[in-house]
Copies of this chain bind each other. A is one copy, B any other.
Amino acid sequence: MTIKVTVWNEYRHEKTDAEVAAIYPDGIHNAIANYLKTDEQLQVSTAVLDDPEHGLTDDVLQNTDVLLWWGHLAHDEVSDDIVEKVQQRVLDGMGLIVLHSGHASKIFKKLMGTATGTLKWRDTGEIEKIWVIEQGHPIAQGLGEYIEIPKEEMYGERFEIPAPDKLIFISWFEGGEVFRSGCCYERGRGRIFYFRPGHETFPVYHQAEVLQVISNATFWAAASK
C-alpha cells in the first residue's frame, strides 16, 4: 500500500531568520519530507503558504492521504476557503498531523471547536522529556520510555483542547510545566494527531525519535484511508 503524504509548511521563518535558515536551509517541510521519503511506502510531496491556493488545490487534497501541518506566524493568512476544504477532506477520511505551533492554526481550531491557541509558552531552550503514556500504541512503536529533547520551547497546560480520544505522550519541561504532547482524535472518517515538538530555532526535526513519531503517526493517520 502506498500512502500519499503532503507536508505543508508556512515557510516564512526560514526565509527571514538566519538562525532558522541555518537549521532548516530547505525549510521545515523538506526536513520532514526528506525523512519520510526514505520509506518506500510513502509518496511524499510538499506545499507552502505562498504557493497558489497555498499548494492545497482540490486536486492535491484529493490525492493526499495524510496531510502534515506546520504554521506559526501567518495563521491568519490561510484562506478560510482552503481551511474548509481541508476540514471536509479530514471528515471524509484524510489523516491530519498538526505539528507544534500548528496548535493555533485555523484548521486545528476548526476541527477541535475550542480555543486551541490557548496554552503557556516560554522560549528559553530548556530540556523537554516526552514520556510515552501508551506504549502499545502504533504511534509509540520503537520508542523507549521517553524522548529527551535537549533544547526546546516550553508549552504548558492548560492547553484548551477537547480531551483526546487517546493521549499518547505527556511532556515534562525543565522549568516546571507539563503538556499533553501527543493527542489522537477521530473526526468524521478521519484521524488527527497533534504532536508538540518542533520549534523553529532548535533542530528538533533532525532528531531521530521525533522523526520516528512523525512517521509512525503518518501510518496511523492513514489507517482509515
Inter-subunit contact B136/A191 (CB<8 Å): yes
A37 to chain B, nearest CB (A): 22
Bound together, the chains give a CA A191 to CA B115 distance in angstroms of 15
Q: State the number of copies, please.
A: 4
A189 close to B (CB within 8 Å): yes
Inter-subunit contact B157/A131 (CB<8 Å): yes
Inter-subunit contact B158/A133 (CB<8 Å): yes
Mask: chain A, 134-167; 1 = CB below 8 Å from B; 0 = not: 1111100000010000000000111010110111
Is chain A's interface secondary structure helix, strand, loop, or mixed overall?
mixed
Chain A's interface size range is: 35 or more
A3 close to B (CB within 8 Å): no
Q: Which residues of A contact B (CB under 8 A)?
A: 87-88, 91, 93, 110-115, 129, 131-138, 145, 156-158, 160, 162-163, 165-167, 170-173, 176-178, 180, 185-191, 223-224
